[in-house]
A and B are shown apart, each in its own frame.
Chain A
Amino acid sequence: MGLLDKNFFIQICTDYQQLLFKKSNEILQNVTDAEDAVQEAFIRIEKNLDQIHNLPDDIRAIYCVNIVKNISLDMLRKKKRRHTANMDDFCSVADSLSIEETVVEKCTVDEIKKAMRKLAEKDYELLYLYLFKELQPIEIAEIMHISSENVRVSIHRAKKKLVVILNEEGITL
C-alpha cells in the first residue's frame, strides 16, 4: 500500500465521514453509536480500497453509504431496538402484486418522478444503478453489499412498489 493509497483513503474519510454519520444516525438515532458505525465502515472501506478506487464518484458514495447502513442495521438488530429501518422491510411488498400495464401506460414521467420520491432510499438507489447507470445485477450486488439474486428481486419489488404508489396517487383505470 503506497502513499497514494493512503492519501486516497484519507480523502475518502474526509469526503464521506459526515455523509456516513448522517446515514448511520438516521438509522441508529444515537450519536455515539453512529460514530462507532462510521469508524467500523472506514475499516471495511480500507479493506476494499482497490474496488472503491475504480468506482465513479456517485457510485462510490452509494457504496460507502451502504456499508455504513449495513453496519448500522446490524448494530440495531443486536440491540433489538426496532425493526422499522430494517433493510429487508424495505422489500416487503406482496409478491403477488403484478405490475398493471395500464398504469404503466398512463403514467407520465413527471408522475413517476414524484412517486419515486416516496420510495425507500435503497429502492431509489437500486433503480438508479440498474436503469440509469445500466449496471448488471452482479455489479450492483457489490456496490449494495447484497447478493445478485437479492438485487434482481429487489429491483422487481421496487418497480412494484412504484406501481402501488402510482395507484395510490390515482393513476388507475
Chain B
Amino acid sequence: MTFDEKIKQAIAEDHEEYFGESYGISEKHRFSISYKLCQAKMLRNYGKNISARDPGSVRRLKYVLAAVAVAVVLGTTAFAATSIGRFAFSKHSDYSQLFMENISSDKKIIEEYYGLPDTEGWVITEYYADEKSSLILYDRGDTHIDVGQEIIDRGVHHINTEYADPEPLSLYEPNDGIYVDQGGGDTSIYWIYDGYLFYLGGNIDKYEAINLAYSLKIIDLEKNL
C-alpha cells in the first residue's frame, strides 16, 4: 500500500467525522440586524444587475458600529457628535451614524412584534425574527418595504446615512424619529415607540413612509417562528 493509498484510506475512514467537527455548527451566531437587512436586500435585488451599493454601505456601517460601540464602552464620544432630536448624530465624509442618547427601555426582549396590517395588500416575502430584533420584508406590486424592530438594549444603534443627511422627524412625540432620503427614490425612517426602536424603509417617499409607520400594528409573527 503506497503512502497515497494509506492517506486515502485514512480520509475514507475519517472525513465524515472530521468535516462534522470542522464544518459543524455548535453554537449558532445571531446575525446583526444590519447584516440581515443587507442580506435581504441582496436577495431582493438578485439578478437585477444592481451594483454592490448596499453591501458597500453595510460594510461602512458596520465599521462605524464598531467604532461607536467602542466609544460608548469607553464612555467617550470620539466623534464630533451633534444631536437630532433624541439621537446623537455624527457625520463623516461618506457616511454618518446615529446612536440614541438618554433613552432607556425596560424591554429586554421583544414582547410583541409589529408589522404592516394584512388588510392593505402587503405580502410578507421574508422575515427574520428573534427575541431581540425582527425584520420583515413586504411587497405590494413593485413597492418593497422593510420593517425592522429592535430592543433598545445599549442605546447604541446604527443606521445607514451614506447617501444623505438625516433629518429630524416627529411621529408620536416631538423629534422621536429620523428621516433619511437614501437616494434613488428610497426612504428610511427610524423612530422610537412602545420601548422599541423601529425602522421602516423602501422605495417610497417620506410621507408614505410616515403613513406606513403609523399603520404598524401588533401582528402574530410568533406562530411562524
Contact = CB atoms under 8 A, between A and B. Distances in A.
B144 to A, nearest CB: 15
How many interface residues does chain A have, given as a range?
Answer: 35 or more
A121 B21 CA distance: 11
Contact of B7 (A30, A32, A65, A131): A131
B18 A159 contact: no
Interface in B1-58: 2-4, 6-15, 18-19, 22-23, 25, 28-29, 31-32, 34-35, 38-39, 42-43, 46-47, 52, 55, 58
Contacts of A43: 42, 52, 55
A128 B38 CA distance: 34
B116 interface: no
Contacts of A25: 29
B3 to A, nearest CB: 4
A82 interface: no
A95 B210 CA distance: 67
B46 A39 contact: no
Contacts of B35: 35, 38-39
A32 B32 contact: yes
Contacts of A99: 3
Contacts of A117: 14, 18
Identify the interface centre among A30, A32, A162: most chain B CB within 10 Å of its CB: A32
A90 interface: no
Given A112-B7, A132-B11, A159-B7, A65 B23 contact: yes
Interface residues of B, number: 38
A10 to B, nearest CB: 6
A145 interface: no
A28 B42 CA distance: 23
A159 B8 contact: no
B14 A58 contact: no
B149 to A, nearest CB: 20
Contacts of B11: 116, 127-128, 131-132
Contacts of B39: 13, 17, 39, 42
B159 interface: no
Nearest to A104: B3
Interface of B: 2-4, 6-15, 18-19, 22-23, 25, 28-29, 31-32, 34-35, 38-39, 42-43, 46-47, 52, 55, 58-59, 62-63, 65-66
Interface of A: 1, 5-6, 9-10, 13, 17-19, 21-22, 25, 30-33, 35-36, 38-40, 42-43, 46, 58, 61, 65, 99, 104, 107-110, 112-113, 116-117, 121, 124, 127-128, 131-132, 159, 162
